[in-house]
Amino acid sequence: MNILINLAPSFAILLVSLYQGWREVRLRRERRELQAIADAMLEDLKTYRRVLKEETAKLQDSVTCPRCGRTSHNPDDIGAGYCGHCHDWTGEP
């Protein structure tokens, strides 16, 4: 009986360290999973922003150059923010 009482604290310490090790592994796995979700959401957001820009450009029927004030109705100029007069990309694409 004495030997069991003497062993009990080290057994408890063993159980606690096993639990901590298991918990650490689980937390690391959760962190990886959350990181993967965050990365995927960021990629989706980039795609949405790009599509939104393209669709917004399609809805515009003209673009006015902030430098020279000329207006173009060319869809390519509108989409790219290009000014044929300045020969430069002066507008928001």
Contact call for residue 53 and Zn ion (CB under 5 A): no
CA of 78: how far to CAs of 33, 46, 49, 51, 54, in Å?
41, 21, 17, 15, 10
Contact call for residue 78 and Zn ion (CB under 5 A): no
Binding mask 11-40 for Zn ion (x = CB under 5 A): ------------------------------
**Count of other CB atoms within 10 angstroms of residue 90:** 17
Contact call for residue 83 and Zn ion (CB under 5 A): yes
Residues of this chain that bind Zn ion (CB under 5 A): 65, 67-68, 83, 85-86
